[in-house]
Structure formats: structure tokens, C-alpha cells
Structure 1
Amino acid sequence: MKAIRYLLFPFAIIYDFITTLRNLFYDKGIFKSTEFDLPVIAVGNLSTGGTGKSPQIEYLIRLLKDDYKVAVLSRGYKRRTKGFIVLNDRHNAEDVGDEPLQFFSKFKEDVTVAVDADRTNGIQQLISTVNPEVILLDDAFQHRKVKAGYYILLTKFNELYCDDFILPTGNLRESRRGSKRANSIIVTKCPEHLSEAEMTTIRKKLKVGDNQKVYFSTIGYNKQLKGSENITLEELQDKDLVLVTGIANPDPLLAYLKKNELRFTHINYPDHHNFTDSDISKIEKTLNSIVSEKKLILTTEKDYMRLQDKISNLVYISIETRFLAEEKLFTSDIVDFIKG
């Protein structure tokens, strides 16, 4: 696979030229970028998938929902509908995408969640229909038709954008130069006990600007699982599990389950997978093949959004962003931006 990627290096150079030219045209005002009067916060990355955008959006929702009227706008990746949609209880993952449905399911009493591939139109529709005080844009770092007031750039601890290369040789959607648009850079999925010396080394590697701040976060797993039954992580230890994942990188979850001495058979699918009848049959067949009477299907929260209406005996484990240092500095920076 790596050899093929190196062979595609000439295409990476062409892609780099195209994306750099596009960004230059936006920077110079040749391409139009719309700015709005209300605070707009964009969360995104330079690389493809798996940096922790969803838990970061949820972190911001928890931070802001009690003091501001918040709306979340996503494109609704892999949904089968088009245009602007405000989520309600009748929608499923096929209608609006798994991540927006996840936001809605957890925070429907607190925020408005909408989808629109055209973020400019989506923001305009939100302003005219619900009049939010703050808008959070999910996965919008490259969506330059909207000029957000504050950009949060995520990069994984073990795959920093400064160590990567542009597609298709590497995983970057655009050159690492794009990081200069970020107000805050969050290194995600860090080890829980990352030292200050290691943080300092990473800050130097990222070569951030004087007005940019770098933060470090890790993924926390919720020990209370939900789904067809409410069960704790400890109660799973006497069960045989079928783990079903359709996420970009399931390795951290696998490591966490092994660390907690859980027994499981793993069935892995691509990120944002649309589960077919054949997939469901395979999952159920795998579960039925387990001799033990104490058995259960375990999945991620995002995959649960796609599986909940298709399969029973299913629970999910949720995750959340946890800052390792300077959390108060990050939250005060966000609130100060909103207050203007």
C-alpha cells in the first residue's frame, strides 16, 4: 500500500497545486467567502477522518448550551437526502447522516441540529428559522465559502499533520500551510499521561504562529453503556461480545476493551458504513455462533445510529473529549470570542 502511495506522488503534487491555488483565490478575495454577523465556530482537520471531530463538537455543545442558543450545522455525510434539513424525531441516519443524528439524539432539548452541504445556505436558513446565537460547523475547515470567526483544527497525536503529506501519497486534504488559518490547534487522542516535555516538543514541531494556541486532549470512554439495555463496563466482563465498528480507526477502542479484559469477536466495516441486510445477517450469525448464554452486540455510538432500527440485543459505548492541560484557557478563549 505504501509503495502504491509513493508511486502516486506526481498526483499529490498536482493536487497540492490545485488546493493551494484554491486557497490563494479565497485569501485574495477572488473566490467569494461569506462572513456572518453572529459567532461561527468551525471544527475540522487537515487529514482524512478519525481526528475526533464529533466528540469535540459535543464538548462545545456542553460548554455553550446553558448560556447560548446553539445550532450545529453539518453536511450529513453519506445521507440519502439533499438540501437543508433541521433534524427531528422522525429522521434516521440514512436521512441525515450518523453524526448529526448522534448530536440530535443527545442534545435535542438543548440545541438545533441541521444538515446542508451548502454551508452558506445552511447558515442563512438557520438564521431565518431559529435565529441562533452561536453556530458550530462540523468538519468545515476546508469549506471556505463560509468564513468562520473561529477555527479549531484537530490533529491526531500519532499522525500529526506536520509529519504527513498531501493526498494521495499522504492523508492531507490540503497542504500543512492551511494550519495557519486555525485559531486553536488541538492534538487529539493523546496518551492520558502525556508529559509537559512531550507537549513542548509537539508545539515546536507544529511551528504555530504567535496568535495560535495548542492544546492536548484524549478520548474518554463512558463506563455506562446504553442501548437495548443500560449496563456498565464492569458488567460486560462476564459476557461474550460481538464488537461491530464502522469508524475510521477502531484500534484505540480495541486496546481499551482488551485493557478492561473483555472477550469479543470483532467485525470491522469502513467508516460511515451503511449496514445492509447481508451485514445484519452476518452480525446475527456471529452472535448466534457463540455458545454462551451471556452474549451481547457492542458497537460505537456513531454506528448505533445506523444499527438501532436494524438489530436487537445491541449496546453502545460513547466517548468524550477530555483536555490534558489548560482546559480553562481554551474555554475562556471560546467564550471571549463569542462575547466579542
Structure 2
Amino acid sequence: MPAGLAFLLLPFSWLYAGIMAVRNGLYDRGWKQSEAFAVPLVGVGNLRVGGTGKTPHVAWLLEELLRQGHRPAVLSRGYGRRTRGPRLAGPADSAATVGDEPWQYYEQFGPRGVPVAVAEARRLGVALLLHAHPETTVVVLDDAYQHRAVRPALNLLLTEWARPFYADHVLPAGRLRESRAGAHRADVIIVTKSPPGAPAAARAAVARRIGRYARPGAPVLFSTYAYGPPRALAAAAGPPAPAGPALLLTGIAQPGPLRRHLEGLGYEIACHADFPDHHAFRPADFAALRAHWRPGWPIFTTTKDAARLADPALAAALAGLPLYTIAVQAALDAGAAAGLRARLPAPPGPRPA
């Protein structure tokens, strides 16, 4: 946003920030109630609108909770779905009925016994999960930092290295959903998409600036992205060329890191079809893609986008296109991983004989 326009919008940002501050104050003082449940909730969210890497970090948490012996479940709002109300994901669902990110969780963790639910009102979603799956020992809340009607036992706040919350403003002058002071609710703050091998001095400088808003003792951890090998969407597709011209298809908030990763592998992105986050793809969207594509050129996309590309209505438009997904994982160094593990809810004890 141009600096001049942002300056003109600042009064509206102050008004919005004030409204959010009053709302948060009502919860902080107990005048509005936050509901706790019989099992601990782990919240994952951010202050900024847009992608800060929540999905890979939720996946990291689910892997870790499973490893510790938990029976985790995950709850999301289900942004972009065509349904409403609390809903458990099942085999008949899709990205259209539960949302692209919840469908990712279901495909990745459903076969391992992790229930996935969506609900605008998280209180109703947690109740649905615990009723349908009483064996659940912990619920991971995806993108619920501002959803104060439920009370997490552990609140994780994510902020990007390239776009830290302390350098941003509240909507509409910036991209923050609430003021920077909201970081004080976090038990752990994770700086995502950090450059691998970032100097210790640079990390310390970021941690100091975050510390101005964080609660005393809240650790500031750093994570990076680790990309997996390309995986063909169509079983008949062979491996992609190891380098050369390629196309990129994305409908995510921050596609820059993936593009830089592909360019680092030696791919020349001849065309990047860059759509808004959670974009509902239509057959017409692929006409321009085909116009730029040449036989032998791979087309890369994300796992999140692939969830929406599986819509049967797109099958004809995508026929013959060599699409490959690139999975992304959150990677924490040993110290950061140990620090986060130490704050997770204790795993359940052995069941009585």
C-alpha cells in the first residue's frame, strides 16, 4: 500500500484497533466469558491477515502430539467452504464442503485417526469433536487467535520474518487484525519462514522487538520452511524435468517463498498464475495457463491448492496438464523444537488395565 494512502487510513485503523481493544478487555476482565473444556486446547494463529504458515505449523503440532501418545483432533473455521455450521470431515467431503486447509488435514491425518472438524463458532466445533470422539486428549485450533469465546491452554502466535507484526498497522492502513498489543496473549511466539542460517544477531534483534509487546517469559522461536520433492497429481505423469522452464499455479497468500525455492532448483518460471488466497478455481482460470504452457514443461502448485483442484468440475480443464505439488513443512531447530515440546499439554498416562 502506498505510504500516503496508509497515512490517510490511519484514523480508521485507530478506530478499529480501539473496538478490538474494548472487545479484548471485556474478555480479559471476565465480563465476556471464554469457555474451557475437559481437554486442553492448543491455539495457532496470528495478528496479521494472510499466510504466516499456520497450516505447516498445525501439521508439526499434530505429528508431535501423535508421537507423544496423544489422541489429537483439529478444528478450523473452514474458510471458503460452501457449507455452514459445525461439521465433521468425512470421506464424502472435499475442499468445497470443509475448506482447503481442513481437507489437507483430513487427507494427511485422517487415516491416522485424527478427527477434523470445522465450525465458525469454535465452542460448537469443540463440543462436536468431543461428543463424536470422546477419546480425544487435545484439540488443535487452527486460526483462532482472535476467537476469544474458547480458552486455549496454550496460545501460539505466528509472525513472518519478512512481515513481522511490529512493523505493521491495524486494518485498513495495514494488515493487522488487532493492535500489536495482542501479542501479550501469546504463550509462545514463532517467527516463521526465517532464512535458513540467519545470523544469531539478526534473530536476537527480531526477538528484542517482539519482546516489547510479548508477555514476560514468553519464548520467541524461529522456524523455516522445508520443501518436499515434486509429487505428480496424475498417476500417469512421470517425474518433472530437473530444471528449465516451468509454470507456477497458486492461490495462497504468500507464494513468494515457493517461487524462490523453485528458482533455486534451477526452474525458470515462464508464467505464474497467481490467484488470491483460497481462490475457488474455475475452468476459465486455466485458459491463460494453457496459452503459456509448452509440452514438457512442468506446472507446480501447492498441496493447499491441489485440494481445490480436485473438484470434478475442473477435470476437463486440467486434462493433460502435468501438475506437480510441492509439500511444505515447518522446520524448527533442535532448541526451538525442544522449547515448544516442553510447553505442550502433558500426554495422557497409561490406561488402566
Instruction: Give the alignment's TM-score, normalised by structure 2.
Output: 0.90
1:50 aligns to what? 51
RMSD value over aligned CA atoms? 1.8
Deviation for aligned residue 1:325 = 5.0
Deviation for aligned residue 1:203 = 1.4
Tell me, yes or no, if structure 1 residue 302 matches structure 2 residue 311.
Answer: no
**Equivalent residues of 2:301, 2:323 under 8 A apart:** yes
Tell me, yes or no, if structure 1 residue 162 matches structure 2 residue 163.
Answer: no
Tell me, yes or no, if structure 1 residue 322 matches structure 2 residue 331.
Answer: yes
Instruction: Go from structure 1 to structure 2 and tell me whether the alpha carbon gap of 1:255 and 1:206 turns closer, same or farther (over 3 Å shift).
Output: same
Deviation for aligned residue 1:334 = 3.5
Q: Secondary structure at the match of 1:185?
A: strand
1:147 aligned residue (145, 151, 154): 151
Tell me, yes or no, if structure 1 residue 7 matches structure 2 residue 16.
Answer: no
Tell me, yes or no, if structure 1 residue 122 matches structure 2 residue 125.
Answer: yes
Is 261-270 or 320-329 further displaced after alignment?
320-329
Tell me, yes or no, if structure 1 residue 27 matches structure 2 residue 28.
Answer: yes
**Equivalent residues of 1:40, 1:135 under 8 A apart:** yes
AA matched with 1:204: R
Matches within 5 A, 1:213-232: 213-229=219-235
Is 16-25 or 246-255 further displaced after alignment?
246-255
Instruction: Go from structure 1 to structure 2 and tell me whether the alpha carbon gap of 1:12 and 1:155 turns closer, same or farther (over 3 Å shift).
Output: same
The whole-number CA distance in structure 1 between the counterparts of 2:73 and 2:57 is: 15
Deviation track 1:273-310 (CA, whole Å, cap 9, x = no partner) reads: 001121133333433xx2xx313321111111111332
Q: Structure 2 unaligned runs (5+)?
A: none
1:253 aligns to what? 258
2:38 aligns to what? 37
AA matched with 1:257: L
**Equivalent residues of 1:41, 1:148 under 8 A apart:** yes
AA matched with 1:52: G
2:104 aligns to what? 102
Deviation for aligned residue 1:172 = 0.9
Q: Secondary structure at the match of 2:324?
A: strand
Among all aligned residue pairs of Structure 1 and Structure 2, give the percentage whose two residues are the same amino acid.
35
Deviation track 1:236-276 (CA, whole Å, cap 9, x = no partner) reads: 33564221011111111111111111133211101110011
**Equivalent residues of 1:237, 1:263 under 8 A apart:** no
2:204 aligns to what? 200
AA matched with 1:57: V
The whole-number CA distance in structure 1 between the counterparts of 2:238 and 2:47 is: 37
The whole-number CA distance in structure 2 between the counterparts of 1:305 and 1:44 is: 21
2:81 aligns to what? 79
The whole-number CA distance in structure 1 between the counterparts of 2:101 and 2:330 is: 15
The whole-number CA distance in structure 1 between the counterparts of 2:146 and 2:99 is: 19
Deviation for aligned residue 1:215 = 0.4
**Equivalent residues of 1:73, 1:136 under 8 A apart:** yes
The whole-number CA distance in structure 1 between the counterparts of 2:160 and 2:348 is: 30
**Equivalent residues of 2:165, 2:176 under 8 A apart:** yes
2:285 aligned residue (265, 274, 279): 279
How many residue pairs get aligned? The number is 334
AA matched with 1:249: Q
Instruction: Go from structure 1 to structure 2 and tell me whether the alpha carbon gap of 1:78 and 1:64 turns closer, same or farther (over 3 Å shift).
Output: same
